[in-house]
Chains A and B, each alone.
Chain A
């Protein structure tokens, strides 16, 4: 059902509600408030979803107190995890497939043992949420990006417009626009024709 301007979702199996600091556009679909079971954002706007987007199959918004998630229009988040302590931006017309995890907050490989120890100990002071002190590096996914299933999108990454991430890839550095990138470590296998360049995209949109 459409969750616009409602605090709960009819026919929801989970006894939760849509967070007060979530702003949902017209015709947004969220299948269950279980999506927000780990939503702890204390930002004024912890989640913004544009119009005609949907979160299906237990997509989860795992968001820390300082985190905020922005999703554009006509984007499909199908059973993916967004783990956010800082900022995750997803553009319009994106397809995020099941089992994929997008995070801005895994510790850098340059982090020290002391930093990681402090982070894990802080979890017991903070509702048992892991990595509350890890700062996070924002993730940005531009328009019309397709992320296949079971991918990992790591902190600080920007996925360029129109790019495609193949299933089960692990993406830890930026992907240029219209690239098709696969594997772990990631490698670019081809570039697509930019047939959806912004002016052409406006012609396709309703």
Chain B
């Protein structure tokens, strides 16, 4: 726990947090720098990566009420000094976030749509997803990794979808849905997000 009443705890591979409201442990296959803190092991509830390192994170990163979710062969990478608040980061292959990135509340970052678009494949996917069904029969998915540069600010409730690269110093206005790459230093706004100043 750190000072000023903010209950944050070091992310330690394989460890649990004393008095954590969620009865979990941090995954063993994570590589986390010094000073990286979170509020609960709930952060890793949907972390399913079986890679040697499924979560690689620099130091002094804050993961507050954030979901670090991965499929079995996926990795999430974060630089140092980034602040991620109440966001969902869901990787099927790879999501890379730079240093000094601010990800605001309600943000979702995904590298995959997690279901096929084709109606017949989608119908088969619902069968493979039924309670107790064989998940290995799930349909192949289109996966395109996401890369977010350094010093990017991503506003509340924004969405970053598969295949997007956001350049250094860019700003994603709150509520935007980002489908296309964002160049360095540009502000994007809207659904779909386009360069602009915001309302």
Bin the interface of chain B by size.
Answer: 20 to 34
A167 touches B130 (CB 8 A): no
Residues of chain B contacted by A2 (CB below 8 angstroms): 131
B159 touches A93 (CB 8 A): no
Q: Contacts A75-B126, A168-B177, A168-B191 known; A150 to B159 CB distance under 8 Å?
A: yes
> Chain B residue with minimal CB distance to A143?
B123
B177: min CB distance to chain A, Å: 5
Mark B109-148 against chain A: 1 for CB-CB distance below 8 A, else 0.
Answer: 0000101011111111111011111000000000000000
B131 touches A196 (CB 8 A): no
Residues of chain B contacted by A178 (CB below 8 angstroms): 119
Q: Contacts A28-B131, A180-B117 known; A146 to B159 CB distance under 8 Å?
A: no
Tell me whether A17 is interfacial, beta carbon within 8 Å: no
CB neighbors of B among A38-76 (8 A):
52-54, 74-76
**Contact among A76, A182, A194, A206 with B119 in the assembled complex (CB-CB below 8 Å):** A194
Q: Contacts A74-B126, A76-B126 known; A52 to B119 CB distance under 8 Å?
A: no
Residues of chain B contacted by A94 (CB below 8 angstroms): 126
Bin the interface of chain A by size.
Answer: 35 or more
B22: min CB distance to chain A, Å: 10
**Contact among B122, B129, B133, B192 with A144 in the assembled complex (CB-CB below 8 Å):** B122
Residues of chain A contacted by B175 (CB below 8 angstroms): 168
A76 touches B129 (CB 8 A): yes
B123 touches A144 (CB 8 A): yes
Residues of chain B contacted by A92 (CB below 8 angstroms): 126
**Contact among A28, A95, A194 with B126 in the assembled complex (CB-CB below 8 Å):** A95
Can you list 11 residue pairs at the A/B interface with Cβ under 8 Å?
Answer: A27-B130, A74-B127, A95-B122, A95-B126, A144-B119, A150-B157, A150-B159, A183-B191, A192-B118, A195-B120, A195-B121
